[in-house]
Amino acid sequence: TQLLEQSPQFLSIQEGENLTVYCNSSSVFSSLQWYRQEPGEGPVLLVTVVTGGEVKKLKRLTFQFGDARKDSSLHITAAQPGDTGLYLCAGARRDTNAGKSTFGDGTTLTVKP
């Protein structure tokens, strides 16, 4: 059973469209990260959310942490081809933390010009 479920698994859209991807769990997380990974490279940290209900913005990207700290979403406004990549969420659980995070399987986003 995957601890963190990401949806959709694949998303292909045209440049200029908006989109939302989701990261859901039945577990409570002390913090949650979003990463973007481009082909042939390692994941790169985009943001960390730690407070239930928290909203963070990074240019056209908006990240939200659920009130119960079990889920998160990433919304991209006016997507651009440069947003293409694999988006991964990762959560740290306070009860089994030990410095580890659990990763979702990711959402592969393709933005067509």
- The site for other proteins (CB under 8 A) is made up of 30-31, 33, 35, 40-45, 48, 50, 88, 90, 92, 94, 97-101, 103-106
Choose between 44 and 68: whose C-beta lies nearer to other proteins. 44
List the one residue out of 100, 97, 104, 91 whose CA is nearest residue 65: 91
How far apart are CB 16 and other proteins at their closest, in Å? 29
User: Pairing relation of β-strands 44-49 and 55-58?
Assistant: unpaired
Give me the least distance between CB of 61 and other proteins, in Å please.
Answer: 17
Bridge partner list, 104: none
d(CA 27, CA 34): 17
SS3 category, 82: helix
Q: How far is the CB of 56 from other proteins (least distance, A)?
A: 13
| Closest CB to other proteins among residues 45, 58 | 45
- Give the whole-angstrom CA distance, residue 70 versus residue 57: 19
CB of residue 106 to other proteins, shortest distance in Å: 6
